[in-house]
Structure 1
């Protein structure tokens, strides 16, 4: 029986889940920042993030890209313009609304993104040679699975 001042098991479980999920997101963000700071290449990390979004979601309007990237539309416009000038993305008229533009990753953008990811992986591997590869693969699969669950719940789109 629930009494005043005491939470039931369901409330405790929900609170614990919230704390664990917050910790997961925090640690994931910290790992991303740490890996980026360790990289010795000169590849702009905002480009990596932007190309990753376009790879994952496909063509996006600038406003939708800005929302998914948690940035302002002017900042997104500038970033996407830089990527376009480098040949990493292309702008096309939106087939649904010809007044709008959709930005898509190009093959060159996919190659650039693969190179950036390979470099980050190589940099981390240099410092973490003693890691159990199976454990890292399990963590990677678990994060991918969690990301898919979140996407399916329509939180991100």
Structure 2
């Protein structure tokens, strides 16, 4: 039988995933934003490694990266270690677009929070717990 910590940890994962899905439906979070967020987390990276990180196929990520390049949100440059490969990285415009998406997400969550009675202290505690969990690579 799972411990209370395991049960609550499972519930944390379930509720976090539900929150992300609800906010994506509300705000409209296109796949490109997910890729920008991955690049923000991982830094410059090859397309294959980016596909692995996103758990997507290489052709899917290649198409998405092509669109993001057209938007000016990412750049593809030769890999400094292997000129046969390219590295994808955020541009300043991509960082600005990601920041905008994150502000929109925050506003949508704050709107929901305002109806719950939970305040800044509660949210700060939740954020601290998530940061501590994520500081350990899963």
Normalising TM by the smaller chain, what interval? 0.7 to 0.9
- Is 1:86 the counterpart of 2:89? The answer is no
Tell me the equivalent position of 1:58. Answer: 43
Which residue among 102, 114, 130 is the counterpart of 1:117?
102
Regions of 4+ moved over 6 Å: none
Against the structure 1 CA distance between its residues 22 and 126, is the aligned structure 2 distance closer, same or farther, given a 3 Å change threshold? closer
More helix per residue: 1 or 2? Answer: 2
TM-score by length of 2: 0.88
Partner deviation per Cα, 1:17-69 (whole Å, 9 max, x = no partner) = 66554443332221100111122xx5x43122110100111001001000110
The total of aligned residue pairs comes to: 135
Name the larger-Rg structure. 1
- Describe the SS at the equivalent of 1:60: coil
Aligned-residue CA RMSD in angstroms?
Answer: 1.8
Structure-2 residue corresponding to 1:101: 86
Gaps of 5+ in 2: none
Distance 1:92 1:100 in 2: 9
TM-score (norm 1): 0.78
Instruction: Determine the structure 2 residue equivalent to 1:38.
Output: 26
- Among candidates 137, 143, 149, match of residue 130 of structure 2: 143
Alpha-carbon distance between aligned partners in 1 of 2:18 and 2:89, rounded to the nearest angstrom: 28
